[in-house]
Amino acid sequence: MIDDDLVFKALADPTRRFLLDLLFARDGRTLTELESELAMTRFGVMKHLRVLADADLVITRRQGREKLHFLNPVPIRQIHDRWIDKYTEHRTAALLDLKRELEGESP
Protein backbone atom coordinates (compact mmCIF):
# COMPACT_ATOMS: atom_id res chain seq x y z
CA MET A 1 0.00 0.00 0.00
CA ILE A 2 1.39 3.35 -0.99
CA ASP A 3 1.23 6.49 1.09
CA ASP A 4 -0.82 8.88 -1.06
CA ASP A 5 0.56 11.91 0.79
CA LEU A 6 4.15 10.99 -0.09
CA VAL A 7 3.26 10.48 -3.74
CA PHE A 8 1.33 13.76 -3.98
CA LYS A 9 4.19 15.59 -2.21
CA ALA A 10 6.70 14.08 -4.63
CA LEU A 11 4.60 14.95 -7.68
CA ALA A 12 3.93 18.51 -6.46
CA ASP A 13 7.42 19.71 -7.36
CA PRO A 14 8.24 20.50 -11.03
CA THR A 15 11.86 19.40 -10.65
CA ARG A 16 10.79 15.99 -9.40
CA ARG A 17 8.26 15.65 -12.22
CA PHE A 18 11.07 16.52 -14.65
CA LEU A 19 13.26 13.79 -13.14
CA LEU A 20 10.41 11.31 -13.58
CA ASP A 21 10.03 12.44 -17.20
CA LEU A 22 13.74 11.85 -17.77
CA LEU A 23 13.48 8.35 -16.34
CA PHE A 24 10.36 7.69 -18.40
CA ALA A 25 12.26 8.68 -21.56
CA ARG A 26 15.22 6.47 -20.68
CA ASP A 27 15.24 4.35 -17.56
CA GLY A 28 18.31 3.33 -15.59
CA ARG A 29 20.19 6.63 -15.38
CA THR A 30 23.02 7.50 -13.05
CA LEU A 31 22.99 10.49 -10.73
CA THR A 32 25.57 12.17 -12.99
CA GLU A 33 23.30 11.74 -16.03
CA LEU A 34 20.31 13.17 -14.18
CA GLU A 35 22.35 16.00 -12.71
CA SER A 36 23.57 17.03 -16.18
CA GLU A 37 19.97 17.76 -17.20
CA LEU A 38 19.32 20.16 -14.30
CA ALA A 39 20.74 23.51 -13.27
CA MET A 40 21.31 22.51 -9.65
CA THR A 41 23.94 20.92 -7.48
CA ARG A 42 24.49 17.21 -7.19
CA PHE A 43 23.28 17.40 -3.59
CA GLY A 44 20.05 19.10 -4.72
CA VAL A 45 19.35 16.34 -7.24
CA MET A 46 20.08 13.73 -4.56
CA LYS A 47 17.52 15.36 -2.24
CA HIS A 48 14.87 15.25 -4.96
CA LEU A 49 15.68 11.62 -5.73
CA ARG A 50 15.32 10.80 -2.02
CA VAL A 51 11.79 12.27 -1.96
CA LEU A 52 10.92 10.26 -5.08
CA ALA A 53 12.40 7.10 -3.54
CA ASP A 54 10.47 7.66 -0.29
CA ALA A 55 7.28 7.78 -2.39
CA ASP A 56 8.41 4.59 -4.16
CA LEU A 57 8.42 6.43 -7.50
CA VAL A 58 12.12 5.80 -8.08
CA ILE A 59 13.99 2.59 -7.40
CA THR A 60 17.77 2.59 -7.15
CA ARG A 61 19.91 -0.43 -7.99
CA ARG A 62 23.63 -0.94 -7.86
CA GLN A 63 25.30 -2.13 -11.03
CA GLY A 64 28.99 -2.51 -10.42
CA ARG A 65 30.28 0.81 -9.15
CA GLU A 66 27.26 2.78 -10.32
CA LYS A 67 23.83 3.35 -8.83
CA LEU A 68 21.14 3.36 -11.46
CA HIS A 69 17.78 5.05 -10.95
CA PHE A 70 14.61 3.53 -12.41
CA LEU A 71 11.07 4.83 -12.67
CA ASN A 72 8.42 2.90 -10.76
CA PRO A 73 5.07 3.94 -12.30
CA VAL A 74 2.96 1.75 -10.00
CA PRO A 75 2.24 4.43 -7.34
CA ILE A 76 1.12 6.86 -10.06
CA ARG A 77 -1.22 4.23 -11.48
CA GLN A 78 -2.60 3.54 -8.01
CA ILE A 79 -3.25 7.26 -7.53
CA HIS A 80 -4.96 7.33 -10.92
CA ASP A 81 -7.16 4.36 -10.10
CA ARG A 82 -8.01 5.64 -6.63
CA TRP A 83 -8.47 9.35 -7.22
CA ILE A 84 -8.90 10.12 -10.92
CA ASP A 85 -10.63 7.18 -12.54
CA LYS A 86 -13.60 7.11 -10.20
CA TYR A 87 -14.30 10.81 -10.77
CA THR A 88 -14.08 10.66 -14.56
CA GLU A 89 -16.04 7.45 -15.18
CA HIS A 90 -19.47 9.02 -14.67
CA ARG A 91 -18.65 12.04 -16.81
CA THR A 92 -17.26 9.90 -19.62
CA ALA A 93 -20.37 7.72 -19.61
CA ALA A 94 -22.57 10.84 -19.68
CA LEU A 95 -20.63 12.26 -22.64
CA LEU A 96 -20.94 8.97 -24.53
CA ASP A 97 -24.69 8.91 -23.88
CA LEU A 98 -24.96 12.51 -25.12
CA LYS A 99 -22.95 11.67 -28.23
CA ARG A 100 -25.22 8.72 -29.02
CA GLU A 101 -28.31 10.83 -28.49
CA LEU A 102 -27.08 13.68 -30.69
CA GLU A 103 -25.98 11.31 -33.44
CA GLY A 104 -29.23 9.38 -33.25
CA GLU A 105 -27.53 6.10 -32.34
CA SER A 106 -29.16 3.47 -30.19
CA PRO A 107 -27.29 2.42 -27.02
Q: What is the pLDDT of residues 10-26, one digit of tens each?
A: 999 999 999 999 999 99
Query: How many domains in the chain?
Result: 1
Between 12 and 95, name the one with better pLDDT: 12
**pTM exceeds 0.85:** no
CATH number at residue 63: 1.10.10.10
What's the pLDDT score for residue 107? 55
Confidence category of residue 87, pLDDT binned at 50, 70, 90 = confident
State which residues form the domain around 82: 4-103
pLDDT digit string (tens) for 59-82?
Answer: 999 999 999 999 999 999 998 888
Closest CA to 52 of 27, 69, 68: 69
